[in-house]
Structure 1
Amino acid sequence: MIKRVLVWQWGRRGGGPRFGLNLAQAIDRLPGREVLLCLSRRAEILTAPGFPRHAMTVWQVETYGNLSGLLLRLLGAPVVIPRLLKVLRLWRPDLAICAMAGPVDLLMASALRCAGVPLVVIVHDALPHPGDGFPFQHTLQNILIRQAQGVVALTHHVASQLREQAGMQEREIVVASLPPFDYPAMQGRAIPPVIRPPGPMRLLMFGRLLAYKGLDLLLETLKGLSPVSDYECRIVGSGPDSDVLRKLAALPRVSVENRWVEEEEIASVIGWADVMVLPYREASQSGVGAVAVAAGKQVLATRVGGLEEQFAGLPGVTLCDVDVRALTDALEALILAGPTVSEGRTGQTDILWETMAATMLSDVEHLRHNQETSQEEIVVVPSS
């Protein structure tokens, strides 16, 4: 049985460290499991209010701050790997889980191989999204996957994309779910406000402001709304300056905040909204959507990639085709219906994460058993 689990995620900001933390906390709550959470010493989440510093063991590793730092870290592998190996031999995990792949994870994979610790990689995106991530990040992820004993996808959509890649046709892929991201639970408060003052419908598009997120679809949708539609729309996140963002900012009742949102501010940004709008042209799954679900917000998303699978059966979620007319009709219907009052799913998220973690570990144990049985069935015939 897997008892001691190392969960690592070496991102500095964004959803990766949050996913790693939530997963580690969920495993730690399961009976008979112990967790070591490994984060980058530069991770923004470490200084966020309410970080559970004393509730679990956290191993901080120096990573990098920029591209030159990344290259130096990779060149320093002969020094870095023995340091990682020393901690691994002291803690002796039964399994290591890469919560979200990054540029320097091959250093940890090498140390794990030396320590004889099985590696499982959770794959969020099987294929790169345009403009997202470091150059060659998916090449490094593919190398990491091929070194792993287990692969986990967060939707069947991603699993299918993985199976189409070279060398993956015969690999068994575990499919897990993406539970809601409960930012307020970590900060010790509910997302405000539960009772909002009267006013226009509040629409929010939040996250990386990249073309594949459907910024052009949102622009045409907002331009096509009825003149009597009562709403205000915030577009908040970071991305390259573009013509479509400038056109969105020029629309009445629309504001564009092209900036990085710090960890401690996310709850208040999400709390402002009535509807989270996800007009994506492609998607594996959505961390932003998971945050919105945890907060009890209405979600309007396009029926693309793994979104339909992620949101299937969830209350307050409207799915539509990747089409301006369909998105406009759906948004107008939500604006006409007006805001709904919800207390979110703060009390349920722990259970959902525990269920996901327990199921994933069970599937991984089954996968390892199959691999060991398969190896035992190999008969070596001595030469005459």
Structure 2
Amino acid sequence: MAGSKQKTLILSLARRNSQPLYALNIARKLPEGSFDLMTSKQSTYDCNRFKNCFSIYTYTNTRTFFLSSIFLLPLQFIMLLPKLVRSYDRLYLPYGHFWDLPFILLFKILRKPIIYTVHDGILHQGEGHTAVQYLENFRIKRADHLIFLTHFVEQEIKNQFNRSVPSSVIPHGSLVAHFDFPPKLETDETRILFLGRISRYKGVELLLEAFEESQLPNTRLIIAGEPIYPFKAKELKAVDYHLEYLSEAKIAALLQNADILVLPYLEGTQSGVVSLGISAGLPMICTRVGGLPEQLEEEECIWIEPNKKDLKEALKTMVTDAELRAKLREKMSFKNQDLSKNQLAELKHLILGRTPSH
């Protein structure tokens, strides 16, 4: 039958940050030939490892976004239309993107299932505009099945939309397969790392205050990530800033050379940074907010409330207690954060719509 030859279309049009990485992590778990992966030609991640990956032109900045959305997207979509109708029996969105709207509408018209992984659902304070939240709501309302990374976000969305839609909770898998860690640079300093896009809710100012007041000897704090608001870098002798977009190689080097990873979030849903920390085997300090406690067990990191007093105590404990750091590193090395067999089977069934033969 022709229908049995149809595949799932995985749409991953983001150019950078962790979103394309998450999509690649999902794709590598699926049987080859059961899906096609559509990416952006402007993506910083290479998908050549997949024979069934093809790319379209998207955009490089805000100006080209508007021009490409008006002219390039419609043209490419029309050219792809016969293939979209003929070759695919479902659409999987591993995250939301501005350009997924026409694909969603087409698959709804064709009455073909749409599966969407919801990362945040309700945008964090200071992140995005009303239009971004509207598009997120649009995806959630039109998906036939929602995949959440934490129960926290699942409950938040169900409360917000007050509607019943089939859903599953499948956490972040390990990202270690995508990183080549360089040799570690030797130093006498203990290096504390904050990693990721700098948003107001992530508590970077709180971390800087706590670190400054702690006066920890022979210790260096690295703040690495691209600010999305007017972040003022506090000039401190023992603080290094990398306020820029971080390439895959740069992220790997930062993780490899860190001794401690800190997530001082004031609020949170889930975090891909936790998965990176596990992949790098780093001891972590995490605030007990949102869905973060679902990603690590109680004994797998130092849990704190999002306040300066707790953060100062945790920094001091982690820096001065080498034995504790070693124990946490060992826990990370044994932690199987990759999907369990049951979760992997469910993920394959949802995305592919059939039980894989291998």
**In the alignment, is the contact (CA less than 8 A) between 2:8 and 2:351 conserved in 1?**
no
Question: Using a 3 Å threshold, how does the CA distance of structure 1 residues 118 and 199 change in structure 2: closer, same or farther?
Answer: same
SS of equivalent residue, structure 1 residue 97: strand
**2:78 alignment partner in structure 1:** 82
Superposed CA RMSD: 3.0
Q: How many Å separate the matches in 1 of 2:129 and 2:15?
A: 13
Q: How many Å separate the matches in 2 of 1:161 and 1:234?
A: 33
Deviation at residue 346 of structure 1 after TM alignment: 10
Matched, 1:301 2:289: no
Deviation at residue 113 of structure 1 after TM alignment: 2.9
Q: How many Å separate the matches in 2 of 1:190 and 1:294?
A: 10
Amino acid at match of 2:25: N
Counterpart mapping for 1:314-325 below 5 A: 315=300, 317-325=301-309
Question: Using a 3 Å threshold, how does the CA distance of structure 1 residues 355 and 293 change in structure 2: closer, same or farther?
Answer: farther
Amino acid at match of 2:317: A
Amino acid at match of 1:34: S
SS of equivalent residue, structure 2 residue 60: coil
**In the alignment, is the contact (CA less than 8 A) between 1:229 and 1:336 conserved in 2?**
no
Q: How many Å separate the matches in 1 of 2:208 and 2:227?
A: 16
Q: How many Å separate the matches in 2 of 1:352 and 1:170?
A: 26
- Which of 102, 117, 120 is equivalent to 2:115? 120
- Which of 102, 105, 112 is equivalent to 1:107? 102
Matched, 1:159 2:144: no
Matched, 1:8 2:11: yes
**In the alignment, is the contact (CA less than 8 A) between 1:84 and 1:111 conserved in 2?**
no
Deviates more, 1:76-85 or 1:18-27: 76-85
Question: Using a 3 Å threshold, how does the CA distance of structure 1 residues 85 and 356 change in structure 2: closer, same or farther?
Answer: farther
Amino acid at match of 2:27: A
**1:98 alignment partner in structure 2:** 93
Matched, 1:222 2:214: no
Amino acid at match of 1:340: A
**In the alignment, is the contact (CA less than 8 A) between 1:88 and 1:115 conserved in 2?**
no
Matched, 1:37 2:42: no
Amino acid at match of 2:326: T
**In the alignment, is the contact (CA less than 8 A) between 2:8 and 2:352 conserved in 1?**
no
Matched, 1:145 2:129: no
Identity of aligned residues (%): 25
Which ranges in structure 1 are unaligned for 5 or more consecutive residues?
369-384
How many residues align structurally?
A: 346
**2:191 alignment partner in structure 1:** 202
Amino acid at match of 2:173: P
Which ranges in structure 2 are unaligned for 5 or more consecutive residues?
none
Matched, 1:246 2:230: no
Deviation at residue 263 of structure 1 after TM alignment: 2.3
Question: Using a 3 Å threshold, how does the CA distance of structure 1 residues 365 and 97 change in structure 2: closer, same or farther?
Answer: closer
Question: Using a 3 Å threshold, how does the CA distance of structure 1 residues 230 and 212 change in structure 2: closer, same or farther?
Answer: same
Question: Using a 3 Å threshold, how does the CA distance of structure 1 residues 228 and 9 change in structure 2: closer, same or farther?
Answer: closer
> Which digits, 9 at most, give the CA deviation of each residue in 1:335-376, with x for residues without a partner?
011353958659967x5387644223446799x9xxxxxxxx
Deviation at residue 36 of structure 1 after TM alignment: 1.1
Q: How many Å separate the matches in 1 of 2:285 and 2:219?
A: 15
Normalising by structure 2, we get a TM-score of: 0.86
Deviation at residue 87 of structure 1 after TM alignment: 2.3
Deviation at residue 304 of structure 1 after TM alignment: 0.5
Deviation at residue 134 of structure 1 after TM alignment: 5.9
Normalising by structure 1, we get a TM-score of: 0.80
